[in-house]
Structure 1
Amino acid sequence: MKKTPYPPKMKTIDEMLNLDLLTSEQHHQIASWIASADTPEEILKMPASLWQAIERASEVMGINEDLLRPPSLDAGDLNLG
């Protein structure tokens, strides 16, 4: 069985905290909620105030734009090795 470190690493919300887009308390509450959720449906039940904090931080970081951007047409030429 793989042992998960506690608190588990949550790169996006960690970055939001480092950029001062979330308070330490919001980060802790969000991380705890996600860590205790067994399913995506349980994550979706997170309190509205925490979702609003994530949405505000996501907007500042431009996350939605990144997700909606069409893939680059030259991505096939990408050489990773």
Structure 2
Amino acid sequence: MKTIDEMLHLALLTPDEHQQISHWITQATSPDEILKMPPLLWRAVERASEVMGIDNDLTRPPALDAGDLVCL
């Protein structure tokens, strides 16, 4: 839900799209139910995700030059 809220804040989703997507997600009882979201809403999420570069973040290889960085 945080990502959907950020999409709204960045004006990548309309308030109506945000409300409908949020409602769909909260009513879904499983990830499979979320995947049944209407195509119009999926397209809105996909457009916003593309602008935000979410796919790039998820497919970027891990940084191996982080030095002594310890992630907990």
Shared fold by TM > 0.5?
A: yes
Calculate the TM-score normalised by the size of structure 2: 0.92
The residue aligned with 2:21 is: 30
User: What stretches of structure 2 of length at least 5 have no aligned partner?
Assistant: none
Cα root mean square deviation, aligned = 1.6
1:15-68 Cα offsets, whole Å, 9 max, x none, are 000000000000000000000000000000000000000000000000000000
Q: CA deviation at 1:77?
A: 2.1
Structure 1 residues without counterparts, runs of 5 or longer: 1-9
TM-score, normalization by structure 1: 0.82
**Aligned length in residues:** 72
Q: Identity of counterpart residues, as a percentage? A: 67
- Are 2:31 and 1:40 aligned? yes
Aligned to 1:16, what secondary structure does the other structure show?
helix
Does the residue aligned with 1:77 lie in a helix, a strand or coil?
coil
